């Protein structure tokens, strides 16, 4: 089976840095993706890690440790518009993704 664990909710204030963790147990692993979803709308792609280390895209960074089956999404200089749900997803090599249950990020002024 496949399982992904991430916190259900995280809160932070504007301008702060927040880290959303994801641990996974899967039968195969090619990479870890992160998606953002606002208010139940269409999820949108944020980042993908196939190799260990940090990938940076503007204010967002994503980290992967394959040996620890662990990754995180780091959001810097938080803005109100970053309030959303964030999903980690594992690519197990079968042309599909398995998603975590999502982390709701609440950014306050």
Partner 1 sequence: NAGVTQTPKFRVLKTGQSMTLLCAQDMNHEYMYWYRQDPGMGLRLIHYSVGEGTTAKGEVPDGYNVSRLKKQNFLLGLESAAPSQTSVYFCASSSLALNSTDTQYFGPGTRLTVL
Asked if 57 is part of the footprint of partner 1 (rule: CB under 8 A), the reply reads: no
25 binds partner 1 (CB under 8 A): no
Alpha-carbon dihedral 36, 65, 1, 105, rounded to 10 degrees? -30
Tokens 């890690």 correspond to what residue? 49
Cβ proximity to partner 1: between 50 and 80 the closer is: 50
CA angle 46, 49, 54 (to 5 degrees): 90
Give how many residues touch partner 1 by CB under 8 A: 24
Interface region with partner 1, contact rule CB under 8 A, candidates 19-27, 60-68, 71-79, 89-97: 89-97
Interstrand relation of 103-108 and 9-13 (parallel, antiparallel or unpaired): parallel
Q: Does 86 engage in binding with partner 1 (CB under 8 A)?
A: no
* DSSP characters over 10-27: EEEETT--EEEEEEEE-S
Question: Quick one: 43 or 71, whose CB is closer to partner 1?
Answer: 43
Given the rule CB under 8 A, which residues bind partner 1?
8, 30-31, 33, 40-45, 48, 50, 87, 89, 91, 93, 95-102
């Amino acid at each position: 089976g496949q399982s992904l664990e991430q916190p259900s909710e995280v809160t932070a204030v504007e301008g702060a840095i927040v880290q959303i963790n994801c641990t996974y147990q899967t039968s195969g692993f090619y990479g870890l993706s992160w998606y953002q979803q606002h208010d139940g709308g269409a999820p949108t792609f944020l980042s993908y890690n196939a190799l260990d280390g940090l990938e940076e895209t503007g204010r967002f960074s994503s980290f992967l440790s394959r040996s620890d089956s662990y990754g995180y999404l780091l959001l810097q200089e938080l803005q109100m518009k970053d309030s959303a749900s964030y999903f980690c997803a594992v690519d197990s090599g079968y042309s599909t993704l398995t998603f975590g249950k999502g982390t709701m990020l609440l950014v306050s002024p």
